Amino acid sequence: MKIYKNFIRAIAVVTAITCTTACSDFLDEEDASNFTTDTYFTTAEHAKSAINGIYQPLIPITESGFGGGPWLMLEFATGLANTSLGQATNIYLVKDLINNSDNGYGNSFWSNYYLGISRANLAIEKIPEINMDETQKQKYLGEAKFLRAYYYFGLLRMFGNIPIITNSVDLGSDQLYPEQASPQAVYDLIISDLTEAESAGLPWRDQSGRISLGAVKTLLADVYLTMAGYPLQKTENYALAAAKAKEVINSGEFRLFDTYDELHDPSTKNTGEYIFMTQFAANIQSGNWQPAILPYNLGISAYSAQTGGIFSTNEFVDSYETGDKRAEEKQFYFSNYSLEADRNDSINLGAPYIYKHFDIEANEASAQSDLNWTIYRYADVLLMYAEAANEAEGGPSTEAYNAVNKIRQRAELADLAGLSQNDFRTAVRIEQVHELSFENQTWFDMVRWRKAYNPETNELRDFIGHNFSYLPNKALTERELLFPIPTSEMQNNPNLVQNTGY
């Protein structure tokens, strides 16, 4: 596979993750273009820069422009998103259920995540040989193993049977054209990596944006919860998922923000509700998804590119319960905004755009976003716990109710109470769809539930056979449970077998 051929020359010593002053050391990298693997891994600084490089492949996933952006793939696959960006072919391939292996979004996920895995493999292989502080060495290895697990988890859920590579690869390697592994084998590696990362001495929280123990346990809870659902259906893992989520809850390190404004306030990044984020910093590595969430050329922003790449369907915003604060103007969504030419004048945007990702300062002044991209936040942990505990315990406990009701209380909704196991299951799942909307979570949930959300009826229906509201005559099929392996990878690796239907 071509991603490995250039790996040794693309060692992770480039400027990698970018963030606030608290983690400015991520940016202070030595030019390593003349180093080789034999001469590079000799000092603690080399270890640090190698680890920094493993974070970097997170960044391109959020890139957005007039071609859309990779992260949009996971949102249009839910049927809950709309667009006015006519030239973004990749969007329509997913949105209109005509996807194919030429989709550039899928290729971006595949190539960047395997690049991250390659960098993690080399770091895990070489850092143990470095003479440096042993405590710090173990922390670095914990970060590498977490990130390798995260990348494999994403690839597994998106593409199904994928190759496992755990060693550095050069042009003479017998792993240059790897065969696909079973999902269980990939999960075994993921759990092993995360279990080792748990013991690496990482702090519960790291406000610099580096991997923390909270992030490790949150990802492990998500892994167990996913394994308990489809396609593996290892239902015994519900108890494991609940236990890991409960450890995060009991740590006392994380809390829900009081207001939804804090979800898109740059000053709150890596604090409070946030557990794991892709790091950005204005004027260094600016958060790059703002153009996609702006209405097409309506003049509300300082950004020159305002693409109308993604917004919510009206049916989805209307599906929130009456009185749900999240559906109010400028909470999770917005349909009116002031004009850049005159902030005393405003315009109706014609659709509900995504306010939870909206950087006010960047759009009204700088066109340089200081927001981080959210991967896991505490609300997700509470909902994972409520779902997993309900399944593991045969019905909702007081603690399961408390977890989901914290989410509902912030939304100014009545507490859930007196529900059967099945009704609680459905209520929590719908809460997940509403709370985690447009955060690249919903499609993964739908696939493991084998249920799709129907916003017009506020129901969960069988995934296979479900019709999106804008495609009433075309239903989801088994092929939509996975994305196609990119054409370039199929051509470069003769050992790969394409997913069914592509």
Helices 378-392 and 213-228 sit at what angle, rounded to 10 degrees? 40
Residue with tokens 């001469």: 39
Alpha helices in 56-103 (DSSP H): 72-76, 89-95
Instruction: Note the pLDDT of residue 9.
Output: 30
The Cα 128–Cα 138 span in angstroms is 9
Instruction: Note the pLDDT of residue 265.
Output: 97
Please tell me the pTM assigned to this model: 0.93
The Cα 123–Cα 65 span in angstroms is 33
Instruction: Note the pLDDT of residue 40.
Output: 84
Q: What is the 3-state secondary structure (H, E, C) of 366-420?
A: HCCECCCEEEEEHHHHHHHHHHHHHHHCCCCCHHHHHHHHHHHHHCCCCCCCCCC
Instruction: Note the pLDDT of residue 120.
Output: 98
- pLDDT one digit per residue (tens) for the chain, 502 residues: 443 333 223 333 333 333 333 343 443 444 444 456 677 899 999 999 999 999 999 999 999 999 999 999 999 999 999 999 998 999 999 999 999 999 999 999 999 999 999 999 999 999 999 999 999 999 999 999 999 999 999 999 999 999 999 998 776 666 778 999 999 999 999 999 999 999 999 999 999 999 999 999 999 999 999 999 999 999 999 999 999 999 999 999 999 999 999 999 999 999 999 999 999 999 999 999 999 999 999 999 999 999 999 999 999 999 999 999 999 999 999 999 999 999 999 999 999 999 999 999 999 999 999 999 999 999 999 999 999 999 999 999 999 999 999 999 999 999 999 999 999 999 999 999 999 999 999 999 999 999 999 999 999 999 999 999 999 999 999 999 999 999 999 999 999 999 999 9
Instruction: Note the pLDDT of residue 168.
Output: 85
The radius of gyration of the chain from alpha carbons, rounded to an integer in Å, stands at: 22
Q: Taking the C-alpha atoms of 431, 186, 57 and 230 in order, what is their torsion angle to the nearest 10 degrees?
A: -20
Instruction: Note the pLDDT of residue 373.
Output: 98
The Cα 312–Cα 438 span in angstroms is 9
Instruction: Note the pLDDT of residue 417.
Output: 98
Instruction: Note the pLDDT of residue 171.
Output: 64
The domain spans of the chain are: 289-368
